[in-house]
Every structure is written in structure tokens, then in C-alpha cells.
Amino acid sequence: MDISRELLRYVDVGLLSRSDFEKLLELKNEHVLKIITQFVDLCSPNKLTVISDAQDDIEYVRNMAIINREEIELALAGHTVHYDGFFTMSNHDQARDKNNTQVLIPKEEQGKYPWINTMEREQGLKEIFEIMKGCMKDHECIVRFFCLGPKGSRFSILALQLTDSFYVAHSEDLLYREGYEEFKRLKGSNDFFYFIHSSGELIGNPPVTKNLEKRRIYIDLQEGRVLTVNNQYAGNSLGLKKLALRLGIYKANNEDWLTEHYFIMGLHPRGKSRTTYACGAYPSACGKTSTAMLPGQTIIGDDIAYIRKWEDGYCHGVNIEHGIFGIIKDVNLQDDPEIFKALTSPRETIFSNVLIKDNVPYWLGDGRKHPETGFNFSGDWYHGKEDIDGIEIPLAHPNARYTIRISELPNANPNLNASNGVPIHLIFYGGRDSDTMPPIIESFNWEHGVYLGATIESETTSATIGKEGVRTMQPMANLDFLVVSMGRYLKNHQVFGKNLKYPPKVFTTNYFLKNEKGKYLNGILDKLVWVMWAELRVHNDITAIETPIGYIPLYSDLKFLFREYLNKDYSKEEYTQQFSLRITKLLSKLDRVEKMYSREENIPDFFWNTLMQQRKKLNFLKSEKGDIISPLDL
């Protein structure tokens, strides 16, 4: 079939302009053209628009998002707000839909992946193609080209996006690097991911997805693509976001590198003339972005990283994005000053699912006096408003978001777009754990670090649809996105670190430890102290206390760091509360870990050996010193 003739047919019927036709031909890539024709014919848009890297093209996307009311302009220059679909507090399109996110795998592989929502590939494709038939009727389909990672880098992967949402396309302009010119350099290759999205039938003003019961997000590993329909929330609709993370994990685990749910930041210790680069993985709403944006430090990325072995003996990492799609709840001047300043300054920013009053956005925990009325995701809002189930509707959704470019932030790291990435010296893993793990622990070695990352637990939050407060295992904060077996994933981590001359040091953090009365033992900015303690440990500037679960800080070092970075007194009582070993709680966690990982046959031996040694040491310590052991007694 002559694909260019098929495209010319679109020109003849007024679907595609002659200039956009020429843009596609300039790519000299039949794979791109076949994908476009296949899905235009399936989805039936009334217009097809091709966006290049030209500023006029990119500006067209933003303007159309406003004209179509997918975004509404706000008082500050560059600020807009977007709303996702809402019927009730339990039936909405304002968080990731885990149940309808399926990995499509061959029939013979069914049942091999206990952690992953899977569907037989042919069955899944048949279903979603049926749902997508005509899904773009009366919509304009936008063809986008992006680069995941810095341009011209051996890290980077190109991505093709078709969507009928100008909000999605505008968000991608803030989050990703342009890729039209990069696609020309493919020289006809099919070495790229592609993503097809439709918001489906729309209702309301502003327009939102109507048929949420037909929301589907299907990851087709065989074709390196994602098909997603009947949604607008960015975690479900932005192909290059968490959906590309899954494709990247699959590719990396077949090619001896890592795709991880990592931020990348530069740590700048006071009195030291060095930058130490750290990665960190946290489930949604567990402090990931606020860690990456800590005062006095610099940010490269807050969400997804590609990590490769490098010639200098370190692993190097790049941020596949150049923007932030962050949870806005509890962002205020006191606790997250860098983010708050960015969100209250004129610059291109998209808010989602917040309250608007007099064209000013408000959100939960913003530290300001809130209006009693306004407009939010539920329409006209007033304090005390309830949904049809009698559940009170908050002024902003707990998973409300913001989208901004990192390059416009004063704390952007100068290596944001470095083609070689940055050397990774340490890795943080963290979750939401109210009663077990201390605020920070250092691993004994790389293998122990992989084990610590694999045994992160977290209590569920509003970032995913479902009940909140349920404790779940969150290995490397990546369980929701895995598309390979856990055994293979952990083994690949083990081997990756062993092949490095200087593997990163690994730490776990827990910002959510509470006392018996339910009060948090960590202040929100205390994380700066834990992070800077880890930085000193990487360079062997201070010593630490060895425990069965890893190294913990000395009181004298924390006392100094609290004074140095937060100008706070840190008492021995606080230290004892936070860093006492809760032996029974720790043993119970080991039981949960063992139960979870016993579901899969091929978990590597180093993992089980680490678990058994830890259990033995904890039992011995309990027999010697009791159930709650003060760090001052270790």
C-alpha cells in the first residue's frame, strides 16, 4: 500500500492540510505514516493536525486548549486550570485507574505475573479497538513528536503521540522535549514508542469525559505502544508519563539498564564545594516532588529516570522529562517554599482540579484563607457541598495537580539537559509508613540496598482510585508500573549494581512515622536533614550506628544538622522516638514481605538470605534487650 497516497486522500477530503501533509512526508518514515492512517481510520476525527517543533505550532496547541475550554485562563499570566471528569467522590477521572490499566501479554504467559494486571493480548486489542471505533468523532486529532530524555543522547527514546485532547498535548509541551526534528534522524526506523489517546465523548462546560465506565488504558509491550480511551486525567491519558514508564521498564530489563520511578536532584552541602547527585523513588503522595525541591538543592527531575552504566565507573541518570506534574495538596510557603513560589509567580502553569475564585486557584493545605464558594471539579462549589452519595466535596481534589517546566525554576540544576546525564551517588526509597521504619536507614551494601528498596511499604492515598490508608508493598515505588516478573526485576538490579565500580549507596526514608497518639514524629521540612545526613555518609564524612536493618544516624550528627539546616533544636527525646527499633513491628513486616514474595517462584537467593539474616538478628536483639530498643542502647 502507498501510505503517502492514503494521506493524500485525507487532504482531498479536507481532513489534513497540504502543509501538514508535507510535514509528515518530510519524516521519511513509513512506520509513522502507517500508525497515523491506522488510527485515524479507526477513531474518525474530523480534522488531523500535525505539530512540529515550530513555536507557532506549539502555541496553536495552547491556544486551542483555551478556546475549547479544556483549560481556563487565570489571573496570573500563563496560568490556566483544567478539570477532569467527576460524578461522585468515588466515581471520577481524577486519579490513575489501576483496575482498567492492563498489560497485554500472549496467552501462553497468562498467570505468570501475580503483581501485574494482565489481559490476553488478542482479547484486549479486540476490546479496545471496538471501544475506540469512532471515539474521535467531531474531535481534532493532534499528531505530536517528543523525545524522552535529552536530545542527541544515547539515553533517549523517541515518542509519537496521537490525541484528541489539547490539554494533554499542552501538558506534554511543558513536560517533554520536542521531537519532530529528532524523528527525521531516525532515517525511517521504527525505534520509537507510540501512544494513542482519546478523551472520547465529552459532556459539560468545561468539557469532560462522559463514558468513564468504558475507560481503558492498555499497554501493548509487543508493539511498544499504549492505547488509552475515555479519560483525561494525565496519569491515564499522557502516554509519555507513567504509560511510557512501563514501556521503558520492559525495554530496559531486556537491555541491561534501568528505567525507574526516580527523581534526580543535586545535593549541595553547606561548607563543601561539591555536588552529590541523588535519585529517589516514592509512591504518589509520599513526598517525592517535595524532596526533589528541597530548599538549597537543585532539581533535574521529579518522576522518571533512565539509568545506564557509564565509563567513569558510576551509573549515570537522565530525567526523561523536563517538567513537573506534581500533587499540589499541602504545598504551602512554609513547608514547600520553592514549589509554592513557583506556583504563585507568572509563568506557564496548568493547575488541575483545584478551586477557582476570582480567577485565583486554591488547594488543600495551601496555608491561605479559603473562600466559602467558587468553582471546582464538581461545578459551582460551596462549603459543605455533598455528592449524590452524601459525601462532602472538598474545595479541591486531594489529588489535584500542577504542571510546570523545570527550566523556568530558579533551583533547576545546570545539568538538566546534559546528554551524558549525571553520576548517581545515592538512591533514596520511601513510602508512607505510620508505625514501623525509622526516618532514615542506610543499606550495608548494594544487594542490601536492593532488598530495602524491594521491601518498601506504603499506605494508599488519593493518587489512585480506591480506599485510602491500606498498607501495601511498593517495591522501588514501582509495583504499579512493573511489566516484568519481580524476580527478573530484582535480579537485574542486583547484576546492574555488581557491574559498577562505584554503585550508589542506598537509603530508605519514612516521613510519616507517628507516635501512639497518631501525631507525626517528622516535621515536613525535616526531610532536608535526613537527605543531608545521607550526603555526608556517601562521602564517609561521619560514622553511623549498625543495626539489624541497616545503619542509622548518631544523635550528635542529627543535632548539628537540624541546627545547621533548619535552625531547630533537636532533642534526645525526639531522636529516641524516631530511631528506636520497634522489634515486633519489624518482625511483622518481615512476615508480610515473606508472604508477598512467596507468591513468585523465581525471587533471587540474595533476597531470601537477607530476609532470613535480618529476622535472626532481630529475634536475638529482642531476646537480649526487649521489644522497643532505644538507639542510645545500640
Neighbours of 502 (CB within 10 A): 14
Q: Give CA–CA dist 70/64, Å, rounded.
A: 8
| Residue of 141, 279, 286, 315 with catalytic role | 286
CA distance 575 to 439: 10
CA–centroid distance for 251 within its chain: 18
How far is the C-alpha of 301 from the C-alpha of 225, rounded, in Å?
24
Please tell me the distance from the alpha carbon of residue 303 to that of residue 393, in angstroms, as a whole number: 29
What is the rounded CA–CA span in Å between residue 479 and residue 266? 26
d(CA 243, CA 220): 10
315 included as an active-site residue: no
C-alpha cell at 11: 487532504
Grid coordinates belonging to 270:
553547606
Residues ≥6 apart with Cβ < 8 Å to 303: 241, 261, 262, 263, 288, 289, 319, 321, 324, 325
Rounded Cα distance, 149 and 157, in Å: 7
**Cβ neighbours of residue 500 under 8 Å, at least 6 residues apart?**
309, 313, 314, 315, 446
User: DSSP label at 542?
Assistant: S
**First CA to last CA across the chain, in angstroms?**
74
CA pair distance 168, 197, nearest whole angstrom: 9
Q: How far apart are CA 511 and CA 552, in angstroms?
A: 15
Consecutive H or E run containing 597: helix 583-597
d(CA 614, CA 553): 19
- Contact partners, residue 281, CB within 8 Å, separation at least 6: 260, 261, 262, 263, 288, 427, 428, 429, 430, 453, 456, 476, 477, 478
| Residues recognised as catalytic | 286
